[in-house]
Structure 1
Amino acid sequence: MNFKRIQWIFIIAFVLLDIGLCVSLLMGTQFHNTGKQQSQTQITLKEMKNDLISVGPLSDKRRNGYYTAAQSNKAWTSNNRVNQLRGQTARFNDGIVNSTFQKNIKLRTGASQQQQLDKVVHSNLILHGKQYSYNEDLSTAKQIVYTQTIKDQPVLDREGQIKFHVNNNHEVTGYTQGYLSEFKILRPRAMTISQQQAVTWLYRHNQINNNSRITHVIFGYSKIQKNGNQVVFVPIWTVNVKNKAGGSAQSLRVNAFSGIPFKMSINN
């Protein structure tokens, strides 16, 4: 074997060794940072428990999200059109349909709300009804919610929702409806914070009171900016918190890209 060949073998061996050391160093740093972050999160969860804040299992998995735009045209329908809807008295105002059924829809106890109302939503009783999906997390005993979706995730503002009103007799008396159109992606897909991070960051920002219960944490899309008829949406985490001593529930929102809490509009 000549000297030049031996020299090249040593050069290649050193290069491979350097690459291996670099990869090992990077993986060790990543593991250290991840472990440190997980340790801080676990400490925060223990602090929440000490403050009598109850919360169920929270996922530490990050999700994919998009900056999205949609058209929120206040003239997507008209009173002339809603007046033609059967079996109801409806009016259109400021981009929202408000309707009262002429005959209340009785919800059968023990039967699925979704199965009963899907027939209504996907019929000609509701404008664009086939573009909405039932959302169990947003629904309550007094209000059943259907939403439009962005990348299979719910729109969490009234502009993209149907809200059915339920009386004490378990009857649907009417609904309000907003509608969005022409959805388009503004930026490539990006990673969001996890469900666990959203809750712990709210706590660190003093948004969650002591002696409270987190009832559910929902991932969806909410508007952050409006330019004419175009509305920009970002992925958010909505955290519902209820005081254990009583009182109404509170909805807290976190930008799932930045982790920054922001207030809900009173019209949501």
Structure 2
Amino acid sequence: MDHKRIEWLFFIVFLLIDIYLGIEILRSPVSLSNADTTTQSVANVRSEMKSDNIDLPAEISNTPASGYYLATKNRDYLSSKVSVLTNVDAHYSKTDNILYATPKLETILDKDSKKALKQVIEFKNDAKNVPYGKAFKYEPDMSSSDNYVFVQTSDYGEIYANSAQLNINVKDDQITNYTETYMGQASPVRELQSTISAWRAIQAMYTDRELTNNSRVTQIKLGYSKLTEVRGSTILLPTWLVWVENKTTKNITLKRVNAYTAQMLQSSVYNVEK
């Protein structure tokens, strides 16, 4: 394929992406220039939530944020890295695009949790242990005492997706194995845009009955989640990530709110033992 045909192919792909995102914005029910307009005061909504036994963090920002639509190329980034992972026994599954690895030598962790975390980070930053390890950031709100979870980073924020995650498992103060998925570098496909505020996301969840009685919001963060796939690329969008704990079962649900439209995205449920 000659150079001009390649240029035209990339032009067509990104034109299709731009058209798709344009349609998504036009369908958005939330005005980006006035995303935090609300008919109820913050105090009144907090009072209603309190009566439903819903606990919130003391401070939730009412200021709009900003973000990009991002795109990553759908490629096999990890299979070619297996041969250079000399410190671990590794194999790559093309079926689910996951790298599985087990350390060849014992990696004993310190009893002190902070020192242990530092050791785990040093392990994942070594290219002989983990490919693209430095592209992952520790996520304490998704981790437990025996499972250190790292999410893929970008120049624009953290990516919260199953296809961009590193899980390092520990047993008896020793790293036993890890699994990794990687999406590649992310690039903006549209200009920077305003998003709703963290408080507007909480209101939307409450209105949509996504905050149930007897629950607790433990954390709110702005990150990126998968929106769709278009012509060999994965499109990511800014997302308010809200961790909600059931006070009775202690199960934690990671709720996702589209930071442009205030619509709910797919959630995930997991148990975290601190």
Alignment TM-score, normalising by the size of structure 1: 0.77
Aligned-partner Cα distance in 2 for 1:36–1:82? 51
Instruction: Return the letter of the residue paired with 1:91.
Output: H
Instruction: Return the letter of the residue paired with 1:49.
Output: K
Aligned-partner Cα distance in 1 for 2:53–2:102? 43
Deviation at 1:61, TM superposition (A): 2.2
1:43 partner SS: helix
Deviation at 1:108, TM superposition (A): 1.4
Corresponding residue for 1:235? 238
Deviation at 1:131, TM superposition (A): 2.0
Corresponding residue for 2:52? 51
Deviation at 1:231, TM superposition (A): 0.1
Cα RMSD for the two superposed structures: 2.5
Instruction: Return the letter of the residue paired with 1:176.
Output: T
Whether the 8 Å contact between 2:253 and 2:268 is mirrored in structure 1 is no
Instruction: Return the letter of the residue paired with 1:163.
Output: N
Instruction: Return the letter of the residue paired with 2:86.
Output: R
Deviation at 1:150, TM superposition (A): 3.0
Distance 1:222 1:181, change over 3 A: same
Deviation at 1:180, TM superposition (A): 1.8
Map Cα deviations across residues 23-44 of structure 1 (whole Å, 9 max, x no partner). xxxxxxxxxx999738433322
Instruction: Return the letter of the residue paired with 2:71.
Output: A
Instruction: Return the letter of the residue paired with 2:47.
Output: K
Given the alignment, which residue of 180, 183, 190 partners 1:187?
190
Q: How many residues are paired up?
A: 231
1:198 partner SS: helix
5+ residue gaps, structure 1: 1-32
Instruction: Return the letter of the residue paired with 1:120.
Output: F
Distance 1:151 1:76, change over 3 A: closer
Distance 1:257 1:84, change over 3 A: same
5+ residue gaps, structure 2: 1-33, 270-274
Whether the 8 Å contact between 2:35 and 2:196 is mirrored in structure 1 is no
Equivalent residues in 2 for 1:106-255, closer than 5 Å: 106-110=108-112, 111-123=114-126, 124-167=128-171, 169-255=172-258
Distance 1:171 1:200, change over 3 A: farther
2:163 partner SS: helix
Distance 1:224 1:113, change over 3 A: farther
Instruction: Return the letter of the residue paired with 1:173.
Output: T
- Which segments of structure 1 move beyond 6 Å, counting only runs of 4 or more? 33-36
Deviation at 1:134, TM superposition (A): 2.4
Whether the 8 Å contact between 1:72 and 1:179 is mirrored in structure 2 is no
Instruction: Return the letter of the residue paired with 1:92.
Output: Y
Equivalent residues in 2 for 1:17-56, closer than 5 Å: 37=38, 39-56=40-57
